[in-house]
Amino acid sequence: MSDTIILLIIGLVAGLLSGMLGVGGGIIVIPMLVGILGYTQKEAQGTSLGLLLLPIGILAVMNYYKAGFINLKAVGIMSITFIAGSYLTSKFAVTLPDQIIKKMFAVFLLFVALKLFLGK
């Protein structure tokens, strides 16, 4: 299967799960890019971040906003530190070995999975 078709499928899966569950980049796109297309962890993370820029989420955001499910104050407050945090950590992350980042990512996913599975 060509990379273009695989990327279209990854985008579709991420879009469907993003609209349904609010997930996409970290949980869907990155593991698929690494596992299926052989991207390095850094390539996958950078590509995922590029995908998540404004044009991608705007239609889903509009639907959630129209339904009254977006707290604009919370979005504004979190955006300030999200921007600063992602900028600073991305400058550090690009200097780390790929294997270190991949292991950190795996530990994070395991933690999230356990928290969801076990509840409070």
Distance CA(3)–CA(37), nearest Å, equals: 7
Model pLDDT, residue 6:
92
Task: Give average pLDDT by consecutive 10-residue segment, the chain, 120 residues.
Answer: 90 79 77 90 83 74 86 83 84 90 88 84
Tokens of 65: 């906003």
How many domains are contained in the chain? 1
Model pLDDT, residue 101:
87
CA angle 72, 108, 40 (to 5 degrees): 100
| Domain containing residue 48 | 3-118
pLDDT tens across 41-71, in order?
888 888 887 787 667 678 878 888 899 888 7
Q: Where are the alpha helices (DSSP H) in 24-67?
A: 30-35, 41-51, 54-66
Model pLDDT, residue 54:
63
